[in-house]
Amino acid sequence: MSVRSFLSDVVYSAYGRRLIQQAAGRHPRHIAIMLDGNRRWAREAGFSDVSDGHRAGAKKIADFLSWCQEADVEVVTMWLLSTDNLNRDPDELTPLLKIITGVTDELAAPGKTWQLRIVGALDLLPTEVAKRLSEAAARTEGRTGMEVNVAVGYGGRQEIADAVRKLLLQHADEGTTIHELAKILDVDHISEHLYTSGQPDPDLIIRTSGEQRLSGFLLWQSAHSEFWFTEAYWPAFRRVDFLRAMRDYAWRHRRFGS
């Protein structure tokens, strides 16, 4: 290791410890993250195949989850594929789905403590892909570690439509008329049928790659979320970036509309 590299590591380590101290005392229970910028990272790194960016991004996921675990985060939601992404060219989509199923299998591997939940419209995915994702999540049932939502084939509007559909079907089976339902319907009824039902809403939503919009991510659940944006592409996202997000969250005063 060169002297310059050694000094860089020392400075980086010291800065990381300082960020941890500044974020102490308050951390989010639920972090949601939009893993954006894989394709742009690949192009700028000189790769001709954008799948190399997706592969690099997939390798970052386990690191990110370990950082969240160290910070005592209870729930993490990772957006890996949107409903809009399903319209991509098959030459890109097919390898991407393979990468996603591969990383999900890795997260569900023996020795991992995470509980996986697949959130998204699985019926929009190829049958074999949906089956592998569901089987991976099933293998983590009973684990007591951090809950990890893997959002694949996910769209915020689709989620709300699915929740309302499930609500209507439930009450139809119970014999509730539409007029009776209209009298009792409130936000909690819909929340109970969301993909993330039973979990706290995200306290902090992170988006990489410099984009500053939700793009339909967790539209219902993000009503009171804090947002943190970074220019870093997802494959280049570092622990120090994560710690900056945690520090900034700790410094914010959450009013919840009051």
Give me the phi and psi of 150, to 5 degrees please. -105, 105
Q: Is there a binding annotation on residue 215?
A: yes
Known binder of ligand: residue 169?
no
Q: Any idea how long the chain is?
A: 258
Residue 226 among known ligand-binding residues: yes
Q: Is 18 annotated as a binding residue?
A: no
Largest Cα span, the chain:
75
Instruction: Judge whether 255 is annotated as a binding position.
Output: no
Residue 83, annotated as binding a ligand = yes
Contact in structure between 159 and 220 (CB atoms under 8 Å): yes
DSSP 120: S
Please state at what angle helix 51-70 crosses helix 239-251, rounded to 10 degrees: 50
36 marked as part of a ligand binding site: yes
CB atoms within 10 A of CB 94: 14
82 is in an annotated binding site: yes
What is each CA distance from 14 to 20, 64, 236, in whole angstroms? 10, 20, 20
Please indicate if the annotation marks 40 as binding a ligand: yes
Q: Looking at the annotation, which residues are catalytic?
A: 36, 85
Which segments are annotated as binding site for substrate? 37-41, 54, 82-84, 88, 207, 213-215
Binding residues, by number, are 36-41, 54, 82-84, 88, 207, 213-215, 226
Binding-site residues from annotation for Mg(2+): 36, 226
